[in-house]
Amino acid sequence: MVVRCEEVWREISNYLEGEVPAELSAAIEDHVRSCKRCAAVLDGTRNVVHLYGDERMLEVPLGFSHRLHRRLADNTQPNRRSFLGWMVAAAAAVIVVGAFEAARSASFGRAEPRSEHAQVGGVPPDMTVLVSDDGKTMHVAGCPFIHDRAHLRALVARQALREGYVPCVRCMKKYLASSLDDLSGDIEPQSFS
């Protein structure tokens, strides 16, 4: 069996530990006798293994272990300052969560507006409007901008607003606040029958 330099380098650690098959071991020995580079790699690796295997190589000073344990204990013991810091952080978290819960419970029972137009007023509360269950706007009968005509239902405007629907900017233009008139200023009022 003949081996190349790369194979010797890949197996050198196993060779030194005696964990290669006898045939490969003999081939590595033959190769090392004729290749100066691989012989140098083998000698260098053998020296490194020998040095790190010697327990005197990494001998620590007397008392080092005790000092290390004491220093670690000093650095890991919770002190009063860190305890107070955690308490302040916990109190702040409780206050923030409490504020969110208070705000949420204050708005509980009211339907959330489905769009920014929900704050408008002026639609007669007893006016009959059409809404779609998957939409968010209310329309007057005959509005050409109703999207889902198959699932329409009639409500009075007061109930539609309570459920979170908002007036259609196009068909209820005359009922909307002036800020919405600016938004839809290019749409001419239409009469629907």
Q: Write the DSSP string, 111-134.
A: PPPSSGGGG---S-TT-EEEEETT
What sign results for the dihedral spanned by CA atoms 113, 116, 121, 123?
negative
**pLDDT of residue 128 exceeding 60:** yes
Question: Which tokens hold the place of 129?
Answer: 């409007």
Q: Rounded to two decimals, what is the model's pTM?
A: 0.32
Q: How far apart are CA 47 and CA 70, in angstroms?
A: 36
Mean pLDDT, range 75-99, rounded to an integer: 81
> What's the distance, CA 60 to chain centroid?
45
Whole-number Å distance between alpha carbons of 173 and 190: 9
Over the stretch 129-165, which tens digit does the pLDDT of each residue have?
988 877 888 888 888 888 777 888 898 988 888 888 8
Neighbours of 12 (CB within 10 A): 19
